[in-house]
Amino acid sequence: MLQPETIASFLDALGSYALPVSLLISIIIAVLGLVPSIFVTGANILLFGPLYGFLISWLGEMLGAVVSFYLYRTGFRRPFTNLAQKHPLLGGITESTGWQAGLFIFQARLFPFLPSGIVTFAGAVSKINPVLFLLATALGKIPSLILEALVSYDFINMDRNWIRLVFTLVSLTGLYLLWKKNKRASKKCS
C-alpha cells in the first residue's frame, strides 16, 4: 500500500525534480479518476511542510482537473448518462449551463466523499465553459484539500495530534453517515 512517507522519500531523492514529479503524479491520479490523492498530499506535507505542501497539492489538483477535463471532454460524453441519472448533483452539473453549472461543480468539490474524477467527468460532459469549470474547481477544492491536508498531517504526527485526528475522523464519519441517510431518503421520495 502506498504510504506518504514512501512517496516523500521517492520525491526527496529526485532533488530539484521533486516538485514537477509531484505535480505529474497528481495529474496522473486525476486522469485515473478514482484513485485517492491523500497519499500525495501527505507526501507533499512531509517534504515541503504544511503550507507549501498544501499549495503544491492544490496546484497539482488544479492541473490534474484541467488535463482530465479536456481528456474526458474529447471522448466520454455518452457513457456518462446513466451515472448522472443516479446522482442528482451530477445530473445537475450535466444538465445546467453557465453560472448554475459552476455552482454545482463548486458544491460537488466541497463534498469530501464524492471522488474528484466523477465531478471532473460530469463537468467535462456538460456544456460548462472551461474557465468557469476551473474557477469553480479551484475555489471548491480549497476546503476539501485543507481537510485532506489536516488529516494527512495528523496521521503523520499522530503522537502529538491524535486528539484532533480522532475528532476529525469521527466528524467525517458522522458527515458521511448523514450523507448516506439523506441519499437514501431522497431515493425514497423519487
Residues composing the chain: 190
Whether the predicted pLDDT of 34 surpasses 90: no
Element (H, E) at 48: helix 38-48
**pLDDT number for residue 137:** 94
One-letter identity of residue 183:
K
Cell numbers placing 120: 471532473
Q: What is the pLDDT of residues 140-149, one digit of tens each?
A: 999 888 888 8
Q: What is the pLDDT of residues 41-72, one digit of tens each?
A: 989 999 999 899 999 999 999 999 999 999 98
Burial of residue 129 (number of CB atoms within 10 Å: 0-12, 13-18, 19+): middle
pLDDT class of 159 with cuts at 50, 70, 90: confident
